[in-house]
Amino acid sequence: MINSCKILVLLSFLFYQDIVAQITNEKEYVVITFERAENKVHRLKRYYWIIPSDSIRSKNLLMASLYMETYFDKSEFEECCRGGTIDVLESSGNDTVSFSNDYNIALKQLNELVFKNRKRVQTIIHQWYNPKYEEITQVYATPIIGSFCYCMQKFSHLIKNYFQEGIVFLPLSSFRYNDNFWKSDKSKAIECFDYSSLKYVNTH
């Protein structure tokens, strides 16, 4: 059986592949946060995905990876905005890590916005054989408005089984909370979707 996450990534690719521009204007999105606590020893880990609001259907959510921290460098960011393919885990001589202060501030504001306005939509509990190693993942949704770059992301064959390839979104600008989303019919699809079968690990 094909993994449901692979289906969602494929659908995302089909949805975006005919669009020439790789930079979106201000649009409505829903940021999905997977917050995983493996046990009392390991620290909390967060993984972010994004859903264009105009793609939301009752049974299928077209999810793409979202990087809320600079796992990418400036050259990869520029390449993504041009519509190229990036690998944020591969080092090259073209890597430049410095971003403008304005961009760093915008990224920090986006993180605060998503965290402050998130709404829990599911709790996933994975019980290991040893009860001390119970894994709990809280799933949150935050509707926002903003501009992003997006492109294809691929990894080397040595690590591609550990991270999710496919469409990735990189934050650009003009982020704000979209409170009206929870009053719409689309919010039900976000709240009722079963996230438990998704392979959501897309960053370190």
Question: Which residue has better confidence, 22 or 81?
Answer: 81
Report if residue 79 sits inside a domain: yes
Burial class (CB in 10 A: 0-12, 13-18, 19+), 193: buried
Residue 197 lies in a domain: no
User: Is residue 179 assigned to a domain?
Assistant: yes
Q: Percent of the chain scored above 70 by pLDDT?
A: 72
Q: Is residue 187 part of a domain?
A: yes
pTM, two decimal places: 0.81
Number of domains in the chain: 1
Residue 171 has pLDDT above 90, yes or no: yes
Span 40-54, average pLDDT: 85
Does residue 198 sit within a domain? no
* Mean pLDDT of the region 73-85: 85
Q: Which of 78-87, 129-138, 168-177 has the lowest mean pLDDT?
A: 129-138
Residue 67: which domain range?
4-192
d(CA 110, CA 47): 14
